[in-house]
Structure 1
Amino acid sequence: MYFRYILLLNFEVTKLTILDLDQNQLKSLPSGVFDKLTQLTHLELDQNQLKSLPRGVFDKLTQLTRLDLEQNQLKSLPRGVFDKLTQLTHLELDNNQLKSLPSGVFDKLTQLTHLELDNNQLKSLPRGVFDKLTKLTKLLLFRNKLQSLPSGVFDELTQLAYLNLQQNKLQSLPNRVFDKLTKLTALVLRNNQLKSLPSGVFDKLTRLTHLNLRTNQLKSLPVPSLVKICTSSIALIKS
């Protein structure tokens, strides 16, 4: 059965912990629709037709640990939309139409470990957008339109293990952009427009096991960095 609208404006199942509404035809969410679901830990809204989110729609879901909004039609996010979700560990925003992110949009998500922003239309990232995500282990940014990265954009992600930036429009990388990612094991940069790499760009990545630079425009490699990777028994792969 397909839902085109949520008609239950006030859910009375107040003990509900998991609510799965994915693969429907929801075009909008009524304001306050989840306000009584204060015990909810998982909310699945993926594969609908949501074009926007009401301001404060998740404010009462303070126990939520997983929120899935992938494969909708979101073009923007309200400022502060995730501010009350302080227990959230997984946030999926992939396969939408996001062109930008509000400054501070993830600042309250200090427990977040997985963030998926792939398959959107992001052209840039706000400075400091990931600074509060100190527990993040997986960050997906592939298939966007990123032309550059802010200096220090990953500096606070000291627990990050997997970073995927493939299929963007990156022509260069900031100096020392990966220096703080000392727990990174996989870095995917394939299908960008990189013409060169900064000296020492991989020097701090001593745990790296997968590095993918396929399909760029590189004419030379930063030899010292690659030597350090190889001496740490790291594999440079093409797949």
Structure 2
Amino acid sequence: MSGPDALTRSVLADQVKERLLEGILDGSYPPDSRIVETAVAKEFGTSQAPVREALRGLEALGLIAITPFRGARVRRLDTEELLEAYVVRSTIEVLGARLAMANLTEADVSALLAIGEDMHRAADAGDGRALAIMDASLHEKIMQVSGNRTLLRVWRSLEPLSRTYITLLGPHSDPRWTCSLHDPILEAVGRRDAEAVVRAIETHFDEVRERLAGHLAEVAEQQVHGAESQATGTS
């Protein structure tokens, strides 16, 4: 298929993919849950073709698994896989920051600082969803300013995966803590100090990785204790 029909389907597929991605990240589609193609098409008022394309896109991101005759299921992400994504994303963002600092204009600085102010407002209001959006916007803006389109594409392929930590931490997350992680980055940007920006980004990802690893370890321990208690109670 080519022409306007193909373009329309592609646009619809992108819209469906974003909606499904939001559902996965906010827990509407929990791990191991099915995503039924016909049900999604009915919900969004579209044909199954763009839904099928959207699901393939989510599979490429590693967020769902599609198997013959069983359809699509949300993947239960492996802890190590998720933490590995942060290592790779940190490396990519350090490179992106170095390139961005060489291209930085006054307008870019103002835009980044404005996102930081929006993050503080969201954190003060306890609005985790708005904060997550601003968080992603800040990191993406730095990658855009780098001017390297290939780097930006690779970053975008990892960002949804690493963003799942917000969902995994759930009620245990602290909006002010999340917001404060970005202050050193923005302060260094304001000073146009490239090395300070790099150090701040590395520290940012180290702290997030450490917090996520600790939380996942606690969850695993609780699950073990719960299973042991259940076994004891039924024996």
Asked if these proteins are the same fold (TM beyond 0.5), I'd say: no
Tell me: higher relative CO, structure 1 or 2? Use CA pairs within 8 A at least 6 residues apart.
Answer: 2
Normalising by structure 2, report the TM-score: 0.19
Quick check: which one's helix share is greater?
2
Normalising by structure 1, report the TM-score: 0.19
